[in-house]
A and B are shown apart, each in its own frame.
Chain A
């Protein structure tokens, strides 16, 4: 007779209650409930509500993970840009005493909660872009070498020492396709995107990036998606829903999420969520609970975070947590 021990070289644990520190793949028998249980990876692909931001705003930026995120900058309408920095621990946002030196919105973002680079963005006297770059070490923001040109509303991705900034505004109402790469000490020009656009989503690294969606002039919202290999951009399959002002995140250019934004008709706010697997975009059956634009996003295709956005006109505090694949304990039915 085939036994579990014979197959896997281990015995099934016989326990009175479920263990507290469960590992993926762990199997045990719960003698109290008389059930055989396994902890396995399951596909969830759903949004859950997270802790509210301390300050509602939109056009803010985010880096990090679902359980260790950084939210910074933003806009609350009426020409008021924010320098607030908040830290998320997986359930609660906490105000950091550190604030951006220059309050601004729609800033390029790269890195994680304790090592973030913030580049470009919009300010009250310069809504179409600034060259400012700031670096966050977990406690303070310091100035870093400036962008070669004033930029705002770009796509961005990468780490604090290897970031990418692409497309966006490059002057008053100038839609750009320019790419700039950061190596930790200097910005250098990369290959131009095939389509100039603003308000797009970005994911990946500075040598394997994905830029998707955005707004074209005069065409409006686009579904166009492009992939970057460190040198040049190549067109990839389009989003299912053309949209701009969306959140984009993902660790690579073959595992990204597009969420929220605005779409036709009538610039309707969207909560639609799409997943990219390197070959195609798939619309997730369920959407974000709160449809919104100018929403920040960070994380990976398996564990992401979105927060802030518009409406209301002063910006929302709403946070939602994306779970793609999670470890879940399930009861095994033995026949």
Chain B
């Protein structure tokens, strides 16, 4: 059974409809990628899941319908969202960013978890008392991911994690995603324009165009699809 299922999801910003009936499934433990050009509705799809945009249709997480639920409640069900542009708290220290990430938790392992993420991202550990706003783009993205993972989510939503980062840092980051998926079993839905990397990480993918899914398949199938190659792989 799928962990996350979207059926006929429509989303609107005021008068403008951004999604026209999106169907999408993510199985437990899977990494699924959504490819698409700017304005195709990739970010909106993630925002719809988190209750951050006017949405209709059906979104079900582990049997629980999410449409109409507020963001704080969706997070409590185990969804963590790394927004586009990282969305760190620039005026808070690195440690405080991670503390806020654990806001929904009440156990006593929060500090141990922070140390665990400092082991995974040592550059964050070196900068623990620094303000997040003073970090480089790559470090901010690491912080955003670690912060999202601090809530111990079952479902991680990543919105264009490669945006604005140097190629080496992107590769590093994507291998961390693979590692997290493997070690912790965290299910991931990744929205990306960098199709090459995303299809390496993902098991399956969807192509979104003008608010509709136009293609879906395994990573292998998408990599070999003529249209995908022409539009997203530059081949």
Chain B binds chain A: no
B→A interface (CB under 8 Å)? none
A→B interface (CB under 8 Å)? none
